Structure 1
Amino acid sequence: MSGPRVEPFTALTPAELESWHALRAANPALDSPYFHPGFAAAVHAAGRPVHVAVAGDGGAPVAFLPHHREGRLLRPVGWPGADFQGPILAAGTGFRPLDLLGNGAAAYTFDHLVEAAPGFERWVVSRRPSPYLDVTGGLAGYLGRASRSGKENMGQARRRAAKAGRELGELRFVADSSDPKALARVIELKRAQYAATGAKDYFAEPDRVRLLDGLLRARDPGFGGLLSTLHAGEHLLAAHFGLRSGAVLHWWFPVYDPAFARLSPGWILLRELVAAAPALGVARIDLGRGEDEYKRRAKTGESVVCQGVVTRNPVRRAVASALSEARSIARSVRARRKP
């Protein structure tokens, strides 16, 4: 395979986009919505330029890798909000990550690379679990596969939903809402959560708000945003905005109103979404990387995502390894401190 050429996303031809779709469809490791060209298109349209490395020796392309360029650094498309990353190519196809470098680009950094990405093994410095829920068969199917903890939490969610209905008013769940006001409330609650926990505010960059707005309006059955809301009476208890492609839903921005935390509304919402999965055509809900307690309890399985950097500079690679080790130690310390 010759070195890739790099094009702005908007320069890809219809035939190249068809090749992208075909390569993704032929590789089960790429069924996440993040690998759909619609995600790259939405990020680009929101105002953050996307470039695509296109590899092939004449004829149809054999690999695509959408990315952003920040000075001499390349990042995966949608970073830091992309929970699955990697090249779009057929299973078993080779890929040379060093070919991404050149023309001033000194490194390609990744933090959610799918473990099956070929050619990246030597550049990986750490691996972390990415839990998921197999929701084939809806709530009954999920409960048949869930851990004891998952079953218990879903049972508690059912009882708390009944309590919310008695105390606050009729419970209403909308699996697929197109209400922009509800999305604005999701973003408002998420920003308040970031502020309360000291986390970096993802929505401080206006293009990220525009991204979610655009994804909410995307009604393509093959790709788009999915907004789900849970009300009790006049109160919005919880909501979630995720990405949907085919039978996969990615759990992206879940929120709940802290005023109703005693009801664990996030679990009620998740239970309702699992129950609605067959009607939505969803068979798997990817929860994204992390060792959050609710993910550990709810999951039926997990994949692995990798962190690392492609570089010819050994110092840069050593720094990446040291930072990864420091973060791993910090996570272990936090886990030991939990009651």
Structure 2
Amino acid sequence: MTVPADAAPAARTVRSVRTVGFDALTAEELDAWHSLRAANPLLDSPYFHPGFAAAVHASGFEVRVAVGRDGSGVVSALLPHHRDGSMARPAGWPGADFQGPVLAPGSSFPPRALLAGGVRGFAFDHLVESCADFAPWVESRRASPYLDVSGGLEGYLGRASRSGRDNMAQARRRARRAERDHGAVRFTADAADPGILGRVVALKRAQYAATGVRDHFAEPGRRELLERLLRVRDPSFGGILSAVHAGPHLVAAHFGIRSGNVLHWWFPVYDPAFAGLSPGWILLREIVAAAPALGITRVDLGRGDDEYKRRARTGETAVCQGLVTRSAARLALRRARASAVAAAKASPLGPGLQNMTRKIRTLMRN
């Protein structure tokens, strides 16, 4: 949705906040969501589109929305979230790679307004710095890299680091090798195929098991969320499934979400049998090359220290971690944990410090 410049919402101060279930939002409130988001360039990620909150809610994870109004009663901010016991978390957590209130640039939102009805804290781990009111509760910031893919592959290569260019060149050579060894290489940029999506989930779960990472898809609703998003066939928002085949083999695939000209890199996978081909790079190169046809100018890779993200990125933004709470003791304990984690990573005494941080993390689980 595009808002004309002369109709863009002005910066406003929230004077009252009402929290309702997503299904109880009025047409006025949903229209305001679209208008406020369209007026704020920091919110162009698909995670801020109401379609994402709607799909999460319909998948069995109740989304509630804090609706802020200014002194004149105009909707000036919305923040979708989940209730998790005494904690509130951003909608889509733990799979939401960008978080925060939807509001016009320069507007305010009172974070403590989320602490009502028995909620003791609002925990965030990918907060976009679009609202200065959250600054007192930010504990740390981490980089979230992206690829500027304006102009497709040629445009990207002109902006990429030497490492990024080298890996893209290697991906081209390995795709040729895959074709020689396994059959014709085919890339599908937008495959509305539930069978491929099922394979993506299966490969991702196998990857979680192999690396000892908690299985994101152990809860059935999370697979249902992807299935719902895949069925949304609207360029303004929806799921997008891309795949690389070599002969009959699915070599690599990716399920993400897009909104307008932004694609979020969410669940990339590859078949370990083809690991020697660096299939992830083959897939990424194909997506960059297809970006103009898809109307994509930026690919957000999401927070993380993965080597391929460091090599491929053309830029980065910051996302914040922290907790809104009235408890000074809880805040101090969280900050002690963050300091211990940082020290463990930097110190040659890492094993002992890491054991200490695990004990602190255990104390912080509830």
Give the TM-score band, short-chain normalised: over 0.9
> Which residue identity does 1:276 align to in structure 2?
A
Deviation per residue, 1:144-195 (Å, 9 max, x gap): 0000000000000000000000100000000000000000000000000000
- Secondary structure of the corresponding residue to residue 332 of structure 2: helix
Q: Which residue of 2 aligns with 1:270?
A: 284
Residue 3 of structure 1 pairs with residue 16 of structure 2: yes
1:75 equivalent among 89, 104, 125: 89
- Secondary structure of the corresponding residue to residue 166 of structure 2: helix
User: How many correspondences in the alignment?
Assistant: 336
Residue 261 of structure 1 pairs with residue 275 of structure 2: yes
Deviation per residue, 1:185-225 (Å, 9 max, x gap): 00000000000000010000111011001001011221000
- 2-structure distance, mates of 1:303, 1:185: 31
Deviation per residue, 1:87-130 (Å, 9 max, x gap): 00000001211111122111000000012332011100000000
TM-score, normalization: structure 1? Answer: 0.97
- 2-structure distance, mates of 1:329, 1:252: 29
CA contact (8 A) 2:101 2:131 kept: yes
Residue 176 of structure 1 pairs with residue 190 of structure 2: yes
Q: Which residue of 2 aligns with 1:283?
A: 297
TM-score, normalization: structure 2? Answer: 0.90
Q: Which residue of 1 aligns with 2:46?
A: 33
Q: Which stretch shifts more, 317-326 or 36-45?
A: 317-326
Residue 42 of structure 1 pairs with residue 48 of structure 2: no
CA contact (8 A) 2:59 2:221 kept: yes
> Which residue identity does 1:317 align to in structure 2?
L
Q: Which residue of 1 aligns with 2:235?
A: 221
- 2-structure distance, mates of 1:79, 1:130: 17
Q: Which residue of 2 aligns with 1:212?
A: 226
Give the Å deviation of 1:320.
1.7
Q: Which residue of 2 aligns with 1:51?
A: 64
> Which residue identity does 1:127 align to in structure 2?
R
Give the Å deviation of 1:332.
4.4
Q: Which residue of 2 aligns with 1:20?
A: 33
CA contact (8 A) 2:124 2:320 kept: yes
- 2-structure distance, mates of 1:218, 1:328: 41
Q: Which residue of 2 aligns with 1:104?
A: 118
Percent identical pairs in the alignment equals 65
Deviation per residue, 1:259-278 (Å, 9 max, x gap): 00000000000000000000
Unaligned runs of 5+ residues in structure 2 are 1-13, 352-366
Q: Which residue of 1 aligns with 2:4?
A: none
Q: Which stretch shifts more, 7-16 or 314-323?
A: 314-323
Give the Å deviation of 1:291.
1.2
Deviation per residue, 1:226-253 (Å, 9 max, x gap): 0000000000000000010000000000
- 2-structure distance, mates of 1:117, 1:274: 31
- 1-structure distance, mates of 2:190, 2:32: 30
> Which residue identity does 2:52 align to in structure 1?
F
- Secondary structure of the corresponding residue to residue 62 of structure 1: strand
- 2-structure distance, mates of 1:328, 1:38: 36
Q: Which residue of 2 aligns with 1:189?
A: 203
Unaligned runs of 5+ residues in structure 1 are none
CA contact (8 A) 1:150 1:297 kept: yes
Deviation per residue, 1:9-50 (Å, 9 max, x gap): 000112211110000000000000000000000000000100
- 2-structure distance, mates of 1:236, 1:332: 40
- 2-structure distance, mates of 1:63, 1:4: 9
